[in-house]
Amino acid sequence: MIRFERIHKSYPVAGREVVALHPLDLEIRAGEVFGIVGHSGAGKSTLLRLINGLETPSGGTLTVDGERLDALDADGLRRLRRRVGMIFQHFNLLSAKTVLDNIAFPLLLAGTPKAQARARAEALLARVGLEAHRDKYPAQLSGGQKQRVGVARALATDPKILLCDEATSALDPQTTASVLQLLDGINRELGLTIVLITHEMDVIRRVCDRVAVLDAGHLVESGPVSEVFLHPRHATTRRFVAESEATDEGVLHEDFAHVEGRLLRLTFTGAETYQPLLGRVARETGIDYTILAGRIDRIKRLPYGQLTLAVVGERADEAIARFAESGVHVEALPR
């Protein structure tokens, strides 16, 4: 669906070239929700804007929906952009137009008859749950309602791809959850490919299928969210995961240094998350354990649990083997 091949991007600044994206390869599959996470300046907005031609790469090949962007003329690029909707961080609604007219606006720009555009806007209002607000103006809406209007407007031209540029960063946690739930439903019901950029790993965890992690313009890690979130390999990814769980790894390791026993991190996924495996293995092997940290939650619709333990006992190796035989990922932690 979207393929980056050795794509890179630089900008001229004060007589020199500043690199925003170093050469990278990345594929986003049709119908998935793909997350791009990175801190400010990592290059994620640049990467997103390349997809709809708002930015032009300095080199490499970018293919979107079967078309190479460097082969498109102005008309071809306009046609492509109608297949790519975009949701913005700060909504970008037209303050002098009603909710209904904001949603119909892209269709009118594309030459759709007014009656047809308004009928489509009415249907989209129902889709995002804002029928009662059709005649209000943006200033009369909450942040969450404004973003729902933004979602409806992005869907107006019946796109195949939906780009979300920090779509929830201006919202409170409860509103963020409702907007992410809306995007998840759109993905499942309409089969849209959604590309979402954020600096919050928790947003990635809630809604994305796969994720790419950017750091200073470099693609440092990518893969299924469950793998990247639960078993991060790069230091940047580990920091994002720690931030999402409100933990300070440095402080934890200082505390762990005073704990007796072997330090283990157990990762459960799927049905095993809710099984009494820890207690059963402890009884059968005679080990003692202390739970030092832990979380049970979901990655999209996948239940998971992750526990950090200190294990004491002569049969600790046997206990570790039993955990592994039960499908639990066991990681020995350094002191």
Instruction: Assign 37 to helix, strand or coil.
Output: strand
Q: Are 183 and 207 in contact (CB under 8 A)?
A: yes
Q: Are 104 and 117 in contact (CB under 8 A)?
A: yes
d(CA 277, CA 269): 12
The predicted model scores a pTM of 0.91
Half-sphere exposure of 238 (CA within 13 A, CB side): 8
Q: What is the CATH number of domain 2-243?
A: 3.40.50.300
d(CA 278, CA 323): 8
Residues facing 10 on adjacent strands: 19
Tallying the residues shown for the chain, one arrives at 335
Lookup result for tokens 């240094």: 257
Closest to 34 measured CA to CA, from 193, 184, 206, 229:
193
Tell me which amino acid residue 32 is. Answer: E
- Domain locations along the chain: 2-243, 254-332
Q: Which two tokens stand for residue 87?
A: 């949701």
Instruction: Assign 307 to helix, strand or coil.
Output: strand
Terminal CA-to-CA distance of the chain, rounded, Å?
Answer: 45
Closest to 50 measured CA to CA, from 64, 33, 65:
64
Would you call 305 exposed, middle or buried from its count of C-beta atoms within 10 A (0-12, 13-18, 19+)? Answer: buried
Q: Give backbone dihedrals phi and psi of 62, rounded to 5 degrees, phi first.
A: -120, 120
> Residue 58: which region, alpha, beta or left (left: phi > 0; alpha: psi -120 to 50)?
alpha
| CA-to-CA dists, residue 20 to 41, 42, 69, 213, 255, angstroms | 8, 8, 19, 14, 39
Q: What is the CATH number of domain 254-332?
A: 3.30.70.260
Closest to 19 measured CA to CA, from 237, 215, 221:
215
pLDDT by residue for the chain (335 residues), tens digit each? 999 999 999 999 988 999 999 999 999 999 999 999 999 999 999 999 999 999 999 999 999 999 999 999 999 998 898 899 999 988 999 999 999 999 999 999 989 999 999 999 999 999 999 999 999 999 999 999 999 999 999 999 999 999 999 988 888 889 999 999 999 999 999 999 999 999 989 999 999 999 999 999 999 999 999 999 999 999 999 999 888 776 555 555 666 777 888 999 999 999 889 999 999 999 999 999 999 989 999 999 999 999 999 999 999 999 999 999 999 999 998 87
Half-sphere exposure of 63 (CA within 13 A, CB side): 13
SS (H, E, C) 124-168: HHHHCCCHHHCCCCHHHCCHHHHHHHHHHHHHCCCCCEEEEECCC
